Chain A
Amino acid sequence: MGDYKDIWVFIEFKKSTIRGVSFELIGKAKELAKKSNEKVCAVLLGNSISKFCEELAYHDIDKIYLCEDAVLEEYLTETYSSILVDLAKEYMPNIILIPATKIGKDLAPNVAATLETGLTADCIDLNIQEDNLIPTRSVYGANYLVDTICPNKRPQMATVRPNVMEKSEVSSKTNPELIEFPVKIDSSKLKMKIIEKIETTTTDIKPIDEAEIIVSGGRGIGSKDNFKIIEELAAVLNAAVGASRAAVDAGWISKSCQVGQSGTVVCPNIYIACGISGTTQHLVGMKSSKKIIAINKDPNAPIFEVCDYGIVGDYKLIIPLLTEALKKKLSQN
């Protein structure tokens, strides 16, 4: 579909930094663009964000679309969707990649339906055949994978899970073309407004959605105090602390740490499950992790069926030993 060209990456921000997943998408976009001979473009929506163009210039991208206005300070579906729709109509990209975060998953289907184009959600891989994007996503509780295609409509859209792709490497500085897109939104006409923001992830809690290593505790941990044992191991590995739903329900740890179908689906390089038996809803949330280590008293716990390495035993004895051993090992490296 000749008139549609280039691969766009929607850049997401978090506390005035670019979210790591955005660089993962840039990395993948560059790989795809090489095959389809297209340009890689970053799309930035927000307030006071032009400063990020400098950082993006070190990622060998071709173009930056900048949409900057006070009305975009906070994410709202109606403002972000209308701008992305207008931008796509005017500049006609072949592909739009959006992080499969809460914002991305709110935004992408709204944009896709408005543009009447196809979207594949929560992708774990992306390929390209000629100019057709072939995304891969998991379905039926991660028991199956599906490859899709959007043969007749453009742009082709996908949301991509954090942590499944390699980050774009920092290159020498280039000079991407900058296109400033005017934002024409009358804020008095908006149908929605934010009344209050409640942050449950404080700065001293490392978020699980983009962590490379996660140490999780479940019902078997037994108490809020015992989570300290988990936290100490996490600290040595510079890991995030996760939890099963049972541990969250018991009030031992914040909801934002919950891994699973009703929490966050994660895909770290290393996932360490302690005292987690492995309910279906938990396994769906962590099964795609690259390396899974499980520690559990019960040798028949389902978690052992998905793990690479499992230790059968009492975590209270094992984790402190592991923490010490890793401390020693990492100081030697």
Chain B
Amino acid sequence: MRFIICVKQVPETNDLKIDPKTNKVLKQGVSTIINPFDQFALEEAIKIRKEGDEIIVISMGDTETKSTLMRCLALGADRAILLNDDCFKDSDTFGTSNILAAAIRKFDDYSIIFCGNSSFDTGSSQVGPELAAILGIPQVTYAESTEKVENGKIRIKAQTDEGYRIVESTLPLVIAGIPPSSFQPRIPPLPKILAAQKKPYEVWNVEDIEGDKAKFGSTGSLIKVKKLYEPPKREQGILITEEPNIAVGKLIELLSKDKVI
């Protein structure tokens, strides 16, 4: 079986400056990581893989995204593809999903597309379901655990607002994973990092994915950013350091004054 993992490289921190002229965050000089939920998605693929299965990681991004893809190879992926072209720039989630879908369509025999349920930076949780809709296959979001595949079907444990449910789906499908609280991202050991250098790494451009250019990048984006701005500053809070009895009295007084109690 062939598993395709969609990963996003994200800034390591969300303390970023914005350029008020372009409405964009300034990412230069900020170190990057693989989106943690995407690493979880990759680990789930590694968990259920059997001999002969292939794990391909793909990412849309600039050339610096190579470091994230190399890390995925070191963690256990077999092949990495960077989707990079000037006409991919400034894609919204729909543009991104169309680019990823076009690349995925190059493989007619994929079984599972894994991605993280949301990203650390912009976190709209849209790409997984949008991919499923574009490719016309089922989706499971908030997936916490994937069980092994049998007879062309897969069972997945997914979070719901009431708890969990176990669903069974036909293949292929999109699984958007959310790590259980016990999840700790692995750091690949040095020999694996070195071995990753020998694994196939490719860069695909718009010709390689043969998609509908009109649906990519800023041309294909349906949502435009009107304004990116800092939220109104919270007023400096009041810190009460008196002994408990007095402190509680003060707090009650403040809350009554605010009419919240």
Q: Which residues of A contact B (CB under 8 A)?
A: 14, 77-78, 81, 101-103, 105-114, 116-122, 134, 137-153, 191-201, 207, 209, 245, 248-249, 255-256, 258, 261-263, 269-270, 280, 284, 291-294, 299, 304-314, 317-318, 321-322, 325-326, 329-330, 333
A134 vs B224: C-alpha distance in the bound complex, in angstroms? Answer: 10
A to B CB contacts below 8 Å, 29 in the list: A101-B161, A102-B161, A109-B128, A109-B133, A110-B129, A110-B130, A113-B97, A114-B133, A120-B124, A121-B125, A141-B15, A142-B231, A147-B226, A191-B169, A191-B170, A192-B170, A195-B165, A196-B165, A197-B160, A198-B163, A201-B163, A245-B181, A248-B181, A249-B181, A255-B180, A299-B239, A309-B237, A311-B244, A314-B244
Interface centre among B122, B125, B222, B228 (most CB of A within 10 A): B222
- Stretch of B58-66, B134-142, B203-211 with 4 or more beta carbons under 8 angstroms from chain A: B134-142
A191 vs B174: C-alpha distance in the bound complex, in angstroms? Answer: 12
Q: Nearest residue in B to A307 (C-beta to C-beta)?
A: B237
The answer to whether B222 touches A291, judged by C-beta atoms less than 8 angstroms apart, is: no
Q: Nearest residue in B to A284 (C-beta to C-beta)?
A: B14
- Stretch of B49-57, B186-194, B250-258 with 4 or more beta carbons under 8 angstroms from chain A: B250-258
What is the minimal beta-carbon distance from A283 to any residue of chain B, in angstroms?
A: 10
What is the minimal beta-carbon distance from A329 to any residue of chain B, in angstroms?
A: 6
The answer to whether B247 touches A313, judged by C-beta atoms less than 8 angstroms apart, is: yes
A162 vs B63: C-alpha distance in the bound complex, in angstroms? Answer: 39
A194 vs B166: C-alpha distance in the bound complex, in angstroms? Answer: 6
The answer to whether A291 touches B260, judged by C-beta atoms less than 8 angstroms apart, is: yes
A107 vs B230: C-alpha distance in the bound complex, in angstroms? Answer: 30
Given A140-B14, A304-B239, A308-B237, A109 contacting B161 (CB threshold 8 A): no
Interface centre among A107, A119, A207, A284 (most CB of B within 10 A): A119
- Residues 202-243 of B at the A interface (beta carbon under 8 Å): 222-231, 234-235, 237-241, 243
The answer to whether A110 touches B237, judged by C-beta atoms less than 8 angstroms apart, is: no
B160, B223, B234, B244: the one contacting A148 at CB < 8 Å is B223
What is the minimal beta-carbon distance from B237 to any residue of chain A, in angstroms?
A: 5
On chain A, the residues within 8 Å of B228 by CB distance are 139, 144-146
Interface centre among A78, A105, A137 (most CB of B within 10 A): A105
A190 vs B179: C-alpha distance in the bound complex, in angstroms? Answer: 27
Given A118-B94, A140-B14, A308-B234, A262 contacting B223 (CB threshold 8 A): no
Given A109-B125, A318-B247, A147 contacting B227 (CB threshold 8 A): yes
A308 vs B250: C-alpha distance in the bound complex, in angstroms? Answer: 13
> Is B29 interfacial (CB 8 A cutoff)?
no
On chain A, the residues within 8 Å of B249 by CB distance are 325
The answer to whether A312 touches B240, judged by C-beta atoms less than 8 angstroms apart, is: yes
What is the minimal beta-carbon distance from B68 to any residue of chain A, in angstroms?
A: 18
On chain B, the residues within 8 Å of A207 by CB distance are 161
The answer to whether A146 touches B247, judged by C-beta atoms less than 8 angstroms apart, is: no
On chain A, the residues within 8 Å of B127 by CB distance are 109
On chain A, the residues within 8 Å of B18 by CB distance are 144
> Is B159 interfacial (CB 8 A cutoff)?
yes
B25, B138, B167, B252: the one contacting A329 at CB < 8 Å is B252
Q: Nearest residue in A to B241 (C-beta to C-beta)?
A: A312
A118 vs B224: C-alpha distance in the bound complex, in angstroms? Answer: 9
Interface centre among B132, B142, B237, B245 (most CB of A within 10 A): B237
On chain A, the residues within 8 Å of B160 by CB distance are 102-103, 197
On chain B, the residues within 8 Å of A196 by CB distance are 165-166
The answer to whether A106 touches B240, judged by C-beta atoms less than 8 angstroms apart, is: no
The answer to whether A199 touches B245, judged by C-beta atoms less than 8 angstroms apart, is: no
The answer to whether A192 touches B161, judged by C-beta atoms less than 8 angstroms apart, is: no
The answer to whether B231 touches A145, judged by C-beta atoms less than 8 angstroms apart, is: yes
A143 vs B170: C-alpha distance in the bound complex, in angstroms? Answer: 40
A106, A262, A305, A310: the one contacting B139 at CB < 8 Å is A106
The answer to whether B124 touches A122, judged by C-beta atoms less than 8 angstroms apart, is: yes
A137, A139, A284, A317: the one contacting B244 at CB < 8 Å is A317
The answer to whether A144 touches B138, judged by C-beta atoms less than 8 angstroms apart, is: no
On chain B, the residues within 8 Å of A81 by CB distance are 133
On chain A, the residues within 8 Å of B165 by CB distance are 194-198
On chain A, the residues within 8 Å of B132 by CB distance are 77, 110
On chain B, the residues within 8 Å of A118 by CB distance are 92, 94, 222-223
What is the minimal beta-carbon distance from B134 to any residue of chain A, in angstroms?
A: 6
B131, B169, B223, B260: the one contacting A120 at CB < 8 Å is B223
